[in-house]
Amino acid sequence: MSDLEKQYKALPLADRLDLALSDNLPQAYRPFMVHEQWMVIKCYFARRADLGMEEIGALINDQDHVIRLCIAKRPDLTPEMIASCVNDRDPNVRHAICRNANLSAAQRQQLQADIDPLVARAATKPPKETQYRQRPGQAKLIK
């Protein structure tokens, strides 16, 4: 473990949460947030609009469906990431991807035939523009 990682892990949870939301998050801390053990911190980090593709790629493969759901709401997913969400084992992730404007016709049809009725119904609705929230001093977050 590097000194920087030790420094990060020594931070109180409240400070880590502030960093996850900060519009001045040090670049060096970002890799630690991708692998953060505390769910609330990782979830806020996953909602940041400024995530890089490498960060998105790591988070979309997270074991926790809540993190994958946060990523599924993004408008900048690659076709492979969209396919991963469409075929996710968790219906909440499939529901979140239903309104993505970049779904293919085949993916939309697949979701309309989903075993989960809420997913199937959401897939019949038109694409929805991504909504953001930004409080003063905080990063822009996807709602």
Instruction: Tell me how crowded residue 63 is: count the other CB atoms within 10 A of its CB.
Output: 6
Q: What global pTM score does this model have?
A: 0.92
What is the extent of the structural domain holding 63? 3-142
- Average pLDDT over every residue of 1-11: 92
Tell me the longest C-alpha to C-alpha distance in the chain.
51
H/E stretch holding 85 reads: helix 79-86
| pLDDT tens, residue by residue, 123-139 | 999 999 999 999 999 99
Residue 1: its pLDDT value, please? Answer: 80
Residue 65: its pLDDT value, please? Answer: 97
Dist CA 10 CA 47 (whole Å): 23
Instruction: Specify the amino acid at residue 134.
Output: Q
Task: Report the sign of the C-alpha dihedral through residues 53, 1, 28, 15, in that order.
Answer: positive
Dist CA 73 CA 81 (whole Å): 11
Of residues 47, 140, 85, 65, the one with CA closest to residue 33: 47
Residue pair 19/11 in contact by the 8 Å Cβ criterion: yes
Q: Per the structure block, which two tokens stand in for 117?
A: 């009725």
Residue 68: its pLDDT value, please? Answer: 98
| pLDDT tens, residue by residue, 84-136 | 999 999 999 999 999 999 999 999 999 999 999 999 999 999 999 999 999 99
- Average pLDDT over every residue of 3-10: 93
| pLDDT tens, residue by residue, 26-69 | 999 999 999 999 999 999 999 999 999 999 999 999 999 999 99
Q: Number of folded domains in the chain?
A: 1
